[in-house]
Amino acid sequence: MSGSAFESIKLPGSVWRHEQTRALLRARDVGGLFHLAKKYAGASQNRIAAATGVPQPRVNALMRGTGGPILQLEVFERIADGLNMPDDARICLGLAPASTITAEVSQPRAHRSVDSPEQRIDELITEITATDTQGDVIEQLASATHSLAESHTRVPASRVIAEVLRLHGQARELLAHRQRLSQQRELYRVESQLLAHACLLLGDLGQNSTADKYGAVSVLYAQEAGANEAVSWSARAKTLRWQNRFIESADMARRGYDCSPATPIRVQLASQEANAAALMGDIPRAREALRRSEVAAETVAADSGLSAWSFPVTRQALFNQSVAINADDPEAALRAAQMADAAWTSGTPKVLATWAQIRTGAAIAHLMNGSLDGTIEELKAVLTLAPEFRVSTVTAFLENLERRLSHPDFRSSRDAIELRQKIRTFNSAAPVISNEP
């Protein structure tokens, strides 16, 4: 084997320029890139591991196409360095180029010849109109971003996240080229939407720490674009709620509510504030936030009900139910379930995760009323949900129920013991993304 095991691996420059390689980079197919290192540089799995910092068993799994995808930015940076990627390949992978200083930037304006007013105007016009990107490319990216958001509730999170990250890589590649100011702002807006969507999906897959980072950057991109920040704050509020950071979640939801236009996300933000407030025990704040969500719902136009940013009546019912459970009001929780059932009967699209949470919430309410039979009946269909749809929002509701089933009132019940085991089996098959590099 040529070269030290700890040196970066060098592939021929033509390999990085090949369209098949570019496709691997855009898809962030690390296993495919490692195969190129083996084919063109004779690198063994051990050498790839030493050069990139990815453990050899993980290298093996990636090359075989097994295991979850890599998500951490710092791991992609190590891989890019270990494979000695040229700047254009790094950009295609969604990373910043290793060297971004150009000759033009390195020459201070003070050292240039003094231009006449006419020359300065011509220069300004050139700066405004010059671009390396056609407008329809950005338009297609924005359209694909919208389409992915619409598929959020119909396709398993583990599949959607791969597409979201692929589009994120394309946006990063476009931003590395010269853009008109209006195009750059539109790309920032699209990036904000993609990162917010990634934040939601990573949370669904139990990766809350990584999700929070994506959400924070989403807010920054929205601010740079001068775009509305509401969806970014909503995504962050959800992530913080699942990290049990209830005060921060409620405050971020309120911040998003205050800047949100009259769209479904405004209703969601008020409901998120209510849920987080109830979880930290502030029931008066929770009820006041729910009142604002109901008022906001009267003024927004309905959308598809299927988008990552939709908030149909059934999701309103879900948040009402959650607040009721935390306020020890099982009757209100059951009324919320009836509210959702009525909406589904009238034709509101049934989102599996929302449906499963509503049924589990109703099961908890029955248990609060002392009816184990009612709990078991509510959960029969939920426990048949396919593994790819067992997102963390569903499994967390079931974990809550399992804890309640361990109460002394039910501890000796054969039915309660059997139900707890079914819940553990159900949750053990939930999709996850490994934290390993």
Residue 351 has pLDDT above 70, yes or no: yes
From its phi and psi, is residue 28 left (phi > 0), alpha (psi between -120 and 50) or beta?
Answer: left
Q: In sequence order, which ranges of 205-351 are alpha helices (DSSP H)?
A: 208-225, 230-242, 246-259, 264-279, 283-297, 313-326, 330-345
Q: 70 phi and psi, to 5 degrees?
A: -80, 135
- CA R_g for the chain: 25
Query: Tokens 């501890």, residue?
Result: 411
What pTM was estimated for this model as a whole?
0.69
- Region 329-335: mean pLDDT is 97
pLDDT tens, position by position, 131-185: 555 678 889 999 999 999 999 998 988 889 999 999 998 898 888 887 788 888 9
pLDDT of residue 426: 95
Q: Is the pLDDT of residue 122 over 70?
A: no
pLDDT, tens digit (0-9, with 9 covering 90-100), for 279-311: 999 999 999 999 999 999 999 988 888 999 999
Residue 113's pLDDT is 45
Token representation of residue 376: 């078991």
Question: What Cα–Cα distance (Å) separates residue 282 from each residue in 62, 247, 248, 255, 275?
Answer: 47, 10, 13, 18, 10
* Residue 91, pLDDT score: 80
With helix as H, strand as E and coil as C, how does 371-402 read? CHHHHHHHHHHHCCCCHHHCCHHHHHHHHHHH
Average pLDDT of the chain is 87
Give Dmax (Cα) for the chain. Answer: 90
Q: Are 131 and 178 in contact (CB under 8 A)?
A: yes
Say yes or no to pLDDT of 259 above 80. yes
CA–CA–CA angle 73, 74, 75 (5° rounding): 90
129: pLDDT strictly greater than 80: no
Of the two residues 122 and 74, the one the predictor is more confident about is 74
Read off the tokens for 79: 């891989």
